[in-house]
């Protein structure tokens, strides 16, 4: 080809090729989107001036720069132009107003977008920003897991407004994940799983094998996961467990108890129903509790063990939630007799409680398996040392899909949430030789746990953004009062400060300011139903009166809140505050809609029939001034009462004392149904 023609052609090509990139740049999609937005917004504008304002907006990249929040840059608003503009409510997708949440629309300049939604804030193209293309940055969190974003900053177990996250965190704690996996801030976690030292005297070889095969099939409340053991492994582990040396002292107790004469099943039935076991345990699935199912307990544990355990549960498992009931020797025998008669698995083989004759070589293999599967993490945490058995979970929420090992699971979407869900559902399906057991989470549980896991970021957010609700100090005295609180396991149901479980609606933190001491003593000795609709009720612990007095005195003197006035009437008699007017208020405000008073009233709040005997007026006053202050999610509405009105009502309630202090407990004791 002649040189000049070649030169002309190549020059023109040169020009054309060099023009491609600027042309592509000029046609970037955000530009046309911004022009569309201008048109849409100005057509929606209420005034000519604001329409002109929209029209005049330049086409440019928008960004939210959060220097103090991990130096985050979110350019989502380059396309999502209307997120903070009320005018754009209901507009088509990239332009619509962001739904209102605790942090929006007011908080965009503090939180940006990616802090909740994930994705790549720096990107200005949709596939890269949303992380939908293969090697783009971090993908967006799918909307079902959106609460994972809350969990990055909100570090408490329970996060108000994030029910899925809170549930996920609770499930993780209950499943004992922290026993094997290290997670920041959970170093102190201890599983409630029982030590296995007394197992040879507790149950039989057949039962242990059944249990190891699938704990949930034996007890639906079991927290122990299914390790999918082979029959041989089960056999070896059973031999190892039965080879354990039972501590002499406990063995003595169990054997002595086994030798005792049988008790009265009929009396046992009455005692069980009074003791409200179903507050924690379930019986054939009835009851809200999550403690072991009782309906087959007699085919799980030997009579001697049950009796010895019932008399002092903490000697067998120092971490148990089970309180110590002060049954007399006979009473405890009666209770166990009832359990033996009624709560038995009648389909179970006769020899289910026969101890296993130990084969030492199998037991030796079992010992290896016990280590191999990390059983010690839950059952013998002291023996596990400081090393956690499983890989640490911190940062799992920021893992990139490319760095995950999908192994055999070619069926999965290559994304972190899918991987986590599959890990939870069938952990062993990824490769051979994996040890993680399966927990039998249902779809909802699995979603909640995945949400909580996605909240575990690689780095903690800056201090300014970290939020944990203010720590309520937990006063836990030592000495005799402390050991009483320990042995009655008050914290299994009640909260003190931030310690303890949330089963009871009555935290003990300010109980001394709330209830009158004399009432409390009586109540501790023989508790009765305060809130008829709740299934979780205070059990009758058979507390001796001196214990009750000691506890009540301690509550009276230590567990007080300085903001609750001891005497709201300021030294004057309560009648000065006009209780008659208070009664009128009681009617006028509709309190009877929820509270029982005398023979009528709603079935929701606690009965007020004997409020004057039970509640201190200072508490009543403080409560009426704002119930939510004392319990954030309480349903009792805040009426916005004036001081005078609140005082009048308090005075009225103070007048409510039972006419004839008859024995209530018969009516209330409904126990096991």
Partner 1 sequence: MRIRAAALALVALLTVPAACTRKSAPAGAKTPAAAKTPVVPPPLRYEVRLGKVTFTHYCQTCHGESGAGDGFNAFNLDPHPRDLSDPQFQKKKSDAELADAIQRGGAGVGLSALMPPWGHTLSARQIDELVLYLRTLPALRKPST
Partner 2 sequence: MADWLRGSAVYRSIVRHGTADTNRNRSLVIFENLFLHVHPVKVREKTLRFSHTYWLGGVTLVSSLVLIATGILLMFYYHPSVPQAYRDMKELNYVVDNGLFLRNLHRWAAHLMVFGAFLHMLRVFYHRAYRPPRQFNWVVGIILLILTLFLSYTGYLLPWDQLAFWGVSVGTNMAKEAPLVGEGIRFLLLGGNVVSENALLRFYVLHCVVLPVALLLFLSVHIWRIRKDGGVQGPPSDVDDPRPEESA
Partner 3 sequence: MSEESERSPNPGAPGTSRRDFLTQIGGGACAVAGVGSLVVTLDYLKPKVLFEPPTVFRAGSAVDYPEGTVRFNREQRAYVIGGGGGVFALSAVCTHLGCITRYLSDEKAIACPCHGSRFDLEGNVVHGPAPRPLPWLEVTADAAGNLVVDSSIIIPHGKVTRA
Residues within the interface to partner 2 (CB under 8 A): 21-22, 24-25, 61, 71, 75, 120, 122-125, 128, 137
Q: Which two tokens stand for residue 501?
A: 């479980």
Question: Is 633 one of the binding residues for partner 1 (CB under 8 A)?
Answer: yes
Residue 61 or 533 having the CB closest to partner 1: 533
**Burial group, residue 23, by CB count within 10 angstroms (0-12, 13-18, 19+):** exposed
User: Residue 7 binds which entry of partner 1, partner 2, partner 3, none, with Cβ cut-offs from 5 to 8 Å by kind?
Assistant: partner 3
User: Residue 602 binds which entry of partner 2, partner 3, partner 1, none, with Cβ cut-offs from 5 to 8 Å by kind?
Assistant: partner 1
- Select the span of 14-22, 307-315, 475-483, 596-604 touching partner 3 (CB under 8 A): 14-22
Measured CA to CA, the distance from residue 649 to residue 235 in angstroms comes to 67
Which of 349, 637, 661, 665 binds partner 1 (CB under 8 A)? It is: 637
Q: Which two tokens stand for residue 80?
A: 């999502």
Question: Is 20 one of the binding residues for partner 3 (CB under 8 A)?
Answer: no
Residue 74 or 147 having the CB closest to partner 3: 74
User: Residue 317 binds which entry of partner 2, partner 1, partner 3, none, with Cβ cut-offs from 5 to 8 Å by kind?
Assistant: none
Give the residue among 524, 520, 493, 498 at the shortest CA–CA distance from 509: 498
Give the residue among 646, 495, 662, 504 at the shortest CA–CA distance from 564: 646
Question: Is 144 one of the binding residues for partner 3 (CB under 8 A)?
Answer: no
- Select the span of 56-64, 352-360, 486-494, 505-513 touching partner 3 (CB under 8 A): 56-64
Number of residues located near partner 3, criterion CB under 8 A: 20
Residue 104 or 267 having the CB closest to partner 1: 104
Question: Is 107 one of the binding residues for partner 1 (CB under 8 A)?
Answer: no
User: Residue 11 binds which entry of partner 2, partner 3, partner 1, none, with Cβ cut-offs from 5 to 8 Å by kind?
Assistant: partner 3
User: Residue 594 binds which entry of partner 2, partner 3, partner 1, none, with Cβ cut-offs from 5 to 8 Å by kind?
Assistant: partner 1
Question: Is 24 one of the binding residues for partner 3 (CB under 8 A)?
Answer: no
CB 589 to partner 1: min, Å? 6
Q: Is the peptide bond before 105 cis (omega within 30 degrees of 0)?
A: yes
Measured CA to CA, the distance from residue 372 to residue 377 in angstroms comes to 11
Measured CA to CA, the distance from residue 22 to residue 569 in angstroms comes to 80
Residue 92 or 252 having the CB closest to partner 1: 92
- DSSP secondary structure letters along 356-367: PPPPHHHHHHHH
3-class DSSP state of 496:
strand
CB 14 to partner 3: min, Å? 6
What letters, b where the CB count within 10 A reaches 16 and e where it falls short, cover 488-502? bbbbbbbbbebbbee
- Select the span of 5-13, 151-159, 354-362, 629-637 touching partner 3 (CB under 8 A): 5-13
User: Residue 639 binds which entry of partner 3, partner 2, partner 1, none, with Cβ cut-offs from 5 to 8 Å by kind?
Assistant: partner 1
Residue 123 or 257 having the CB closest to partner 2: 123
Residue 592 or 613 having the CB closest to partner 1: 592
Residue 7 or 467 having the CB closest to partner 3: 7
User: Residue 1 binds which entry of partner 1, partner 2, partner 3, none, with Cβ cut-offs from 5 to 8 Å by kind?
Assistant: none
Residue 469 or 637 having the CB closest to partner 1: 637
Residue 58 or 588 having the CB closest to partner 1: 588
Residue 63 or 550 having the CB closest to partner 3: 63
Question: Is 464 one of the binding residues for partner 3 (CB under 8 A)?
Answer: no
- For residue 10, count other CB atoms closer than 10 A to its CB: 10
Question: Is 19 one of the binding residues for partner 3 (CB under 8 A)?
Answer: yes
CB 125 to partner 2: min, Å? 7
- DSSP secondary structure letters along 267-282: HHHHHHHHHTGGGTEE
CB 56 to partner 3: min, Å? 18
Length of the chain: 673
CB 118 to partner 2: min, Å? 16
Task: Find out whether 120 and 137 touch, Cβ atoms under 8 Å.
Answer: yes
Window 492-551: residues binding partner 1 (CB under 8 A): 533
Residue 133 or 505 having the CB closest to partner 1: 505
Question: Is 101 one of the binding residues for partner 1 (CB under 8 A)?
Answer: yes
Q: Which two tokens stand for residue 293?
A: 């199912």
Torsion (CA) 278, 283, 289, 292 in degrees, nearest 10: 110
Measured CA to CA, the distance from residue 126 to residue 122 in angstroms comes to 11
Q: Left if phi > 0, otherwise alpha if psi is -120 to 50, otherwise beta: which for 588?
A: alpha
Q: Which two tokens stand for residue 611?
A: 């409020």
Question: Is 92 one of the binding residues for partner 1 (CB under 8 A)?
Answer: no
Handedness of CA 437, 443, 444, 446 (dihedral sign): positive
Task: Find out whether 477 and 452 touch, Cβ atoms under 8 Å.
Answer: no
Task: Find out whether 200 and 241 touch, Cβ atoms under 8 Å.
Answer: yes
Measured CA to CA, the distance from residue 217 to residue 32 in angstroms comes to 60
**Per-position x/- string for 70-109, each x denoting binding to partner 3 as judged by CB under 8 A, each - no binding:** -----x----------------------------------
Question: Is 158 one of the binding residues for partner 1 (CB under 8 A)?
Answer: no
Half-sphere exposure of 434 (CA within 13 A, CB side): 17
Question: Is 65 one of the binding residues for partner 3 (CB under 8 A)?
Answer: yes
User: Residue 638 binds which entry of partner 3, partner 1, partner 2, none, with Cβ cut-offs from 5 to 8 Å by kind?
Assistant: partner 1
Residue 163 or 349 having the CB closest to partner 1: 163
Task: Find out whether 381 and 387 touch, Cβ atoms under 8 Å.
Answer: no
Half-sphere exposure of 402 (CA within 13 A, CB side): 8
Window 559-618: residues binding partner 1 (CB under 8 A): 587-590, 592-594, 600-604
Measured CA to CA, the distance from residue 272 to residue 510 in angstroms comes to 31
Residue 73 or 525 having the CB closest to partner 2: 73
Q: Which helix (H) or strand (E) holds 182?
A: none
CB 592 to partner 1: min, Å? 8
Residue 5 or 357 having the CB closest to partner 3: 5
CB 465 to partner 3: min, Å? 19
Torsion (CA) 96, 100, 102, 106 in degrees, nearest 10: 60
Residue 163 or 658 having the CB closest to partner 1: 163
Question: Is 575 one of the binding residues for partner 3 (CB under 8 A)?
Answer: no
- Residues in CB range of 367: below 8 A, 6 or more apart: 240
Measured CA to CA, the distance from residue 151 to residue 651 in angstroms comes to 44
Which of 32, 61, 256, 590 binds partner 3 (CB under 8 A)? It is: 61
Task: Find out whether 636 and 605 touch, Cβ atoms under 8 Å.
Answer: yes
**Which contacts of 599-604 are long-range, i.e. CB under 8 A and separated by 24 or more positions?**
603/532, 603/533, 604/533, 604/635
- Any idea what DSSP says for residue 487? H
- Select the span of 7-15, 113-121, 203-211, 591-599 touching partner 3 (CB under 8 A): 7-15
Q: Which two tokens stand for residue 444?
A: 């909802």
Residues making contact with partner 3 (CB under 8 A) = 2-5, 7-8, 10-12, 14-15, 18-19, 21-22, 60-61, 63, 65, 75
Residues making contact with partner 1 (CB under 8 A) = 99-101, 163, 533, 587-590, 592-594, 600-604, 626, 628, 633, 635, 637-640
């Amino acid at each position: 080809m002649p040189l000049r023609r070649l030169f002309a052609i190549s020059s023109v090509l040169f020009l054309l090729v060099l023009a491609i990139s600027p042309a592509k740049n000029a046609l970037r999609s955000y530009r046309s989107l911004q022009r569309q937005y201008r048109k849409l917004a100005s057509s929606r504008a209420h005034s000519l001036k604001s329409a002109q304002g929209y029209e005049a907006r330049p086409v440019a990249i928008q960004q939210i720069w959060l220097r103090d929040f991990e130096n985050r840059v979110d350019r989502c608003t380059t396309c999502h132009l209307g997120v903070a503009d009320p005018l754009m409510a209901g507009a088509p997708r990239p332009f619509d107003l962001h739904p209102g949440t605790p942090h929006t629309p007011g908080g965009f300049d503090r939180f940006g977008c990616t802090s909740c939604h994930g994705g790549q804030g720096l990107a200005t193209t949709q596939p890269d920003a949303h992380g939908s293309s293969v090697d783009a940055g971090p993908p967006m969190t799918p909307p079902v897991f959106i609460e994972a974003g809350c969990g990055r900053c909100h570090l408490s177990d329970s996060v108000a407004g994030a029910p899925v996250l809170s549930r996920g965190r609770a499930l993780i704690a209950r499943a004992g994940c922290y026993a094997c996996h290290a997670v920041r801030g959970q170093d102190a976690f201890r599983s409630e799983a029982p030590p296995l030292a007394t197992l040879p005297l507790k149950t039989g070889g057949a039962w242990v094998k059944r249990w190891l095969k699938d704990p949930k099939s034996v007890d639906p409340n079991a927290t122990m996961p299914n390790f999918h053991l082979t029959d041989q492994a089960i056999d070896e582990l059973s031999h190892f467990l039965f080879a354990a040396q039972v501590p002499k002292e406990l063995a003595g107790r169990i054997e002595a108890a086994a030798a005792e004469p049988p008790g009265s099943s009929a009396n046992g039935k009455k005692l069980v129903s009074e003791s409200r076991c179903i507050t924690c345990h379930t019986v054939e699935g009835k009851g809200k509790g999550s403690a072991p199912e009782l309906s087959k307990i007699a085919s799980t544990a030997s009579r001697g063990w049950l009796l010895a355990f019932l008399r002092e549960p903490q000697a067998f498992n120092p971490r148990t939630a089970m309180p110590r009931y002060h049954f007399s020797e006979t009473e405890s025998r009666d209770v166990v007799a009832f359990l033996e008669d009624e709560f038995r698995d009648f389909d179970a083989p006769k020899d289910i409680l026969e101890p296993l004759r130990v084969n030492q070589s199998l037991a030796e293999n079992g010992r290896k398996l016990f280590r191999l599967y990390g059983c010690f993490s839950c059952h013998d945490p002291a023996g596990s040392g400081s090393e956690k058995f499983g890989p640490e979970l911190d940062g799992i929420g920021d893992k990139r899909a490319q760095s995950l090992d999908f192994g055999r699971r070619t069926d999965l979407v290559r994304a972190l949430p899918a991987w986590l869900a599959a890990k939870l559902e069938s952990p062993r399906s990824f490769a051979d030789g994996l040890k993680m057991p399966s927990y039998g989470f249902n779809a909802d549980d699995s979603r909640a746990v995945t949400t909580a896991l996605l909240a575990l970021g690689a780095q903690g957010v800056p201090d300014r953004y970290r939020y944990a609700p203010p720590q309520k100090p937990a006063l836990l005295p030592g000495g005799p009062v402390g050991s009483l609180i320990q042995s009655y396991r008050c914290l299994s149901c009640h909260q003190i400060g931030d310690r303890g479980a949330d089963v009871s609606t009555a935290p003990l933190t300010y109980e001394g300011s709330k209830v009158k001491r004399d009432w409390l003593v009586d109540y501790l000795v023989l508790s009765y139903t305060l809130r008829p609709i709740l299934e979780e009720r205070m059990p009758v612990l058979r507390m001796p009166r001196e214990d009750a007095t000691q506890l009540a005195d301690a509550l009276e003197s230590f567990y007080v809140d300085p903001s609750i006035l001891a005497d709201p009437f300021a030294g004057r008699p309560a009648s000065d505050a006009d209780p008659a007017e208070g009664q009128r208020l009681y009617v006028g405000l509709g309190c009877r809609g929820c509270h029982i008073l005398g023979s009528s009233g709603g079935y929701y709040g606690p009965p007020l029939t004997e409020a004057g005997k039970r509640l201190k007026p200072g508490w009543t006053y403080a409560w009426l001034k704002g119930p939510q202050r004392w319990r954030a999610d309480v349903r009792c509405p805040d009426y916005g009462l004036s001081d005078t009105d609140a005082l009048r009502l308090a005075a009225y309630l103070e007048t409510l004392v039972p006419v004839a202090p008859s024995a209530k407990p018969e009516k209330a004791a409904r126990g096991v149904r």
